[in-house]
Amino acid sequence: MRSTDHLATSRYARMRWNTPLSEEHAALLLRRLDVRPGARVLDLGCGWGELLLRAVAAGGVAGPVATRGVGVDTDEAALARGRALAAGRSLNRHVAFVMGEAAAWHEPADRVLCIGSAHAFGGTGAALDALAKVVRPGGRLLFGTAYWQRDPTAAAEQIFGADITDLAGLVETTRERGWRMLHVSTADQREWDDFESTWLAGRQEWLLTYPQDPRAAQVRAELDDRLRQYVGDYRGVVGLAYLVLGH
Ligand SMILES: C[S@@+](CC[C@H](N)C(=O)[O-])C[C@H]1O[C@@H](n2cnc3c(N)ncnc32)[C@H](O)[C@@H]1O
């Protein structure tokens, strides 16, 4: 395999999922999502779908009515990783990974996940409105989205945009749009540090292995910028809220 391929595969290699989330926190969210046997589960902006696969497994695929899942994303490499994960857990007949725009998906489901992907709908409010149309009545949405933990610096606002509110504002936005809150929790500092560290680690390891690669200087500069921004501009400023919502 050429070093080009190594760079592509190393980017997210150290991440379990592409969001600040511990194993314990993920298990709690899946319990609150309460996937029932035979449910249809949809993940919009699924990445490689680790949570989707766990949600489908939680619903169960062995009984008379198997739980089924669909993950939608625009990143073909992430989707390929999801398909390989599904095959490794014998879930490939139960979970489909589809290349496409999250906002263009209209087939409803009983349980919908949308984590770190609100921007694909044009922001948090627009995402909550669009997702109300794909969550079946009586269904549940696991929504993961950014909020300000502290007043943002100008630099943080430039990175994350002006659409974000504080947690109280986010909760109010869900209420105004007709959702009922079944669960709220936020990523803690260690989850964020682990997220940023694992995001960096795959690429740092590539850099340390292939320092002579023609792209090494550019990758080094990107990683240095990201780490500088994290510790200087948004660590402890931007948070990630996980909401389980019903309607
Ligand atoms: C922060 S990642 C979160 C991935 C996943 N939900 C998880 O928790 O691991 C955001 C994902 O949204 C996807 N994405 C961005 N724009 C999209 C769009 N317009 N339609 C579908 N997916 C999109 C990206 O490819 C990426 O996989």
Residues 219, 224, 230, 232: what is their CA dihedral angle, to the nearest 10 degrees?
-160
**Topology (CATH) of 20-187+237-246:** Rossmann fold (3.40.50)
pLDDT at 136 over 90: yes
| Model confidence, pTM | 0.96
Q: How far is the CA of 212 from the centre of ligand 1 (A)?
A: 31
Q: State the pLDDT at residue 1.
A: 45
Tell how far the Cα of 121 is from the centroid of ligand 1, in angstroms: 11
**For residue 23, how far is the Cα from the chain centroid?**
14
Query: Is the CB–ligand 1 distance for residue 117 below 6 Å?
Result: yes
Tens-place pLDDT, residues 161-197: 988 999 999 999 999 999 999 999 999 999 999 999 9
Based on the number of CB atoms within 10 Å of its own CB, is 34 exposed (0-12), middle (13-18) or buried (19 or more)? middle
Q: How far is Cα of residue 202 from the mean position of the Cα atoms in its chain?
A: 18
List of residues 6+ apart from 169 with CB closer than 8 A: 147
Check pocket membership of 34 for ligand 1, CB cut-off 6 A. no
- Measured by CA distance, the residue closest to atom 14 of ligand 1 is 45
At 3 the pLDDT is 42
Indicate which residue's Cα is closest to atom 19 of ligand 1.
120
Axis-axis angle for helices 124-134, 167-176 (nearest 10)? 40
Q: Is the dihedral of CA 57, 178, 18, 1 positive or negative?
A: positive
How many angstroms is it from 72 CA to the middle of ligand 1? 8
Q: Is 118 in the pocket of ligand 1 (CB under 6 A)?
A: no
Residue 186: which of 43, 25, 49, 45 has the closest Cα? 25
Over residues 20-54, the pLDDT tens digits come to 999 999 999 999 999 999 999 999 999 999 999 99
* Phi and psi, residue 78, nearest 5°: -65, -40
Indicate whether residue 116 lines ligand 1 (CB < 6 A).
Answer: yes
Percentage of the chain modeled with pLDDT above 70: 98
Separation CA 247–CA 175 (nearest Å): 10
Q: Does ligand 1 lie within 6 Å of residue 47's CB atom?
A: yes
Higher pLDDT, 8 or 208: 208
What are the contacts of 215-219 at 24+ separation with CB within 8 A? Answer: 215/7, 219/7
Say yes or no: CB of residue 74 within 6 Å of ligand 1: yes
Task: Please compute the mean of the pLDDT values over residues 109-113 and round it to a whole number.
Answer: 98
Ligand 1 centroid, distance to 67 Cα (angstroms) = 23
Ramachandran angles phi, psi of 154, nearest 5°: -60, -40
pLDDT at 35: 98
Q: Whose CA is nearest to atom 4 of ligand 1?
A: 47
Residue where the block lists tokens 């249809």: 40
| pLDDT at 63 (0 to 100) | 82
Distance, CA of 77 to CA of 60 (rounded, Å):
27
Percent of the chain with pLDDT over 90: 94
Does ligand 1 lie within 6 Å of residue 196's CB atom? Answer: no
Looking at every residue in the chain, the average pLDDT score rounds to 96
